[in-house]
């Protein structure tokens, strides 16, 4: 039943990503039509950014298709890293779009020209922005419900595109109002385009950086803190220490490695039961996970932080119960306890 529900969710994600892709093509056509009518460099900014939306939508569609494929012999951790390929391509496209916009803005500033039919152009851009935002919010909601990072990313990109469109519309709205008052400030169009071109360029650079962090398995401190908080909540008195915690994301799959120190006289069967209990707790909290727990025997140096009562191997009295933190849990060994 759970597998059937997962397949249904995957199919729903793919279908909605197809909607996002079709919407991207449609809105791109509308924005370029608005640019053709107005000859506005600022609207050209919005139109060029929509090319990024289309490319990102189709790359995201392919990545989402790959992410839904099960693990196999050649891909033991699944296909979730395809999302990093998607975001890397999207980041490079955003940088290129920003560079194109800046070049167009410089050309407009060097040779300002009259902007025509700005009122019609603004209506077209506003309609496209409204559609972007509505579909973006739905994509985020569906992605979070179905635990699809790719769909959530698509939704956030659509919403961020809406915000830049709103900024462009506000700037052009001021320009239109001033024009009707008799102030013809053609240079303002190129200035608006330059401003948003720089913003888009910086946004693309950040997307590329985040993708590279994912490729290099940069520690996700927030997720690590959530895992440690859960372990502290569920800990037993005979869980002596936790260390060497590693968390990696493979799409929607969370891969967790951790070393858990048990009393030295605990049998393998007893350790197995403890590990299974921890796996259940983590699975309930995070959903799709791959948890590997390495059981280790305790030593005399850890007695002062071990709260297990009646231990026949105790070498020193309990000095105080330790709350495991992100820093100590990610340490490679348990020597941080013995100072």
Q: For residue range 113-131, list pLDDT tens digits in order.
A: 677 777 888 889 899 989 9
Class level of CATH domain 2-215 = mainly alpha
Could you tell me the residue ranges of all domains in the chain? 2-215, 221-337
pLDDT at res. 81:
62
pLDDT band at 21 (very low <50, low <70, confident <90, very high): confident
Q: Supply the mean pLDDT for the chain.
A: 76
- Residue 245 phi/psi, 5° resolution? -80, 130
Query: In this structure, are residues 78 and 70 in contact, taking their beta carbons and an 8 Å threshold?
Result: yes
Show Cβ contacts of residue 89 under 8 Å, excluding neighbours closer than 6 positions.
55, 56, 59
- Average pLDDT of the residues in 239-251: 77
pLDDT band at 11 (very low <50, low <70, confident <90, very high): low
Is it the case that residue 1 has pLDDT exceeding 70?
no
Return the closest-CA partner of residue 266 out of 309, 297, 303: 297
Per cent of the chain over pLDDT 90 is 2
Encoded tokens for 59: 């790359």
Is it the case that residue 308 has pLDDT exceeding 70?
yes
Per cent of the chain over pLDDT 70 is 79
Show Cβ contacts of residue 304 under 8 Å, excluding neighbours closer than 6 positions.
316, 317, 318, 319, 320, 337, 338
pLDDT at res. 4:
44
Encoded tokens for 133: 């935002």
- Average pLDDT of the residues in 6-17: 66
For the stretch 44-79, pLDDT in tens is: 877 877 887 788 778 777 776 766 666 667 665 665
- Average pLDDT of the residues in 84-112: 74
Round to whole Å and give the CA distance between 67 and 82.
7
Is it the case that residue 173 has pLDDT exceeding 60?
yes
Return the closest-CA partner of residue 199 out of 58, 112, 98, 72: 98
- Average pLDDT of the residues in 260-281: 85
169 or 211, which is more confident: 169
pLDDT at res. 134:
92
Q: 221-337: same fold as 2-215?
A: no
Is it the case that residue 5 has pLDDT exceeding 50?
no
Encoded tokens for 318: 């309990």
Q: Which ranges constitute the DSSP H helices of the chain? A: 2-38, 41-67, 82-110, 118-145, 149-180, 187-215, 221-234, 268-286, 326-329
pLDDT at res. 84:
64
pLDDT at res. 283:
80
pLDDT at res. 334:
54
Residue with tokens 């972007």: 132
pTM over the 0.75 mark: no
Is it the case that residue 97 has pLDDT exceeding 50?
yes
Round to whole Å and give the CA distance between 291 and 282.
8
Residue with tokens 């924005």: 31
Class level of CATH domain 221-337 = alpha beta
For the stretch 250-261, pLDDT in tens is: 655 677 888 888
- Average pLDDT of the residues in 165-172: 78
For the stretch 296-306, pLDDT in tens is: 888 878 887 77
């Amino acid at each position: 039943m759970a597998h059937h529900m997962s397949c249904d969710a995957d199919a729903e994600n793919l279908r909605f990503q197809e909607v996002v892709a079709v919407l991207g093509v449609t809105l791109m056509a509308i924005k370029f039509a608005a640019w053709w009518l107005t000859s506005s460099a600022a609207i050209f900014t919005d139109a060029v950014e929509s090319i990024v939306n289309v490319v990102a939508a189709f790359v995201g569609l392919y990545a989402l298709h790959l992410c839904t494929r099960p693990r196999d012999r050649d891909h033991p951790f699944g296909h979730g890293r395809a999302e990093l390929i998607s975001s890397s391509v999207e980041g490079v496209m955003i940088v290129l779009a920003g560079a194109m916009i800046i070049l167009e803005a410089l050309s407009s500033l060097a040779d300002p020209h009259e902007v025509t039919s700005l009122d019609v152009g603004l209506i077209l851009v506003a309609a496209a922005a409204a559609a972007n935002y509505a579909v973006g919010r739905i994509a985020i909601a569906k992605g979070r419900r179905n635990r699809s990072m790719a769909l959530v990313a698509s939704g956030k990109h659509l919403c961020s595109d809406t915000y830049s469109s709103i900024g462009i519309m506000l700037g052009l709205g001021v320009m239109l109002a001033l024009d009707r008052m008799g102030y013809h400030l053609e240079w303002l169009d190129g200035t608006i385009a330059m401003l948003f071109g720089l913003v888009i360029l910086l946004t693309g650079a950040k997307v590329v950086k985040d993708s590279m962090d994912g490729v290099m398995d940069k520690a996700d401190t927030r997720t690590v803190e959530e895992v440690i908080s859960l372990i502290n909540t569920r800990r037993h008195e005979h869980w002596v220490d936790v260390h060497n915690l590693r968390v990696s994301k493979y799409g929607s799959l969370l891969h967790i490695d951790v070393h858990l120190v048990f009393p030295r006289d605990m049998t393998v069967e007893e350790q197995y039961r403890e590990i299974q209990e921890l796996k259940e707790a983590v699975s309930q909290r995070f959903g799709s996970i791959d948890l590997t727990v390495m059981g280790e025997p305790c030593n005399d140096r850890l007695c002062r932080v071990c709260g297990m009562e009646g231990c026949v191997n105790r070498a020193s009295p309990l000095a105080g119960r330790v709350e495991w933190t992100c820093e100590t849990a990610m340490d490679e060994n348990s020597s941080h306890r013995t100072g």
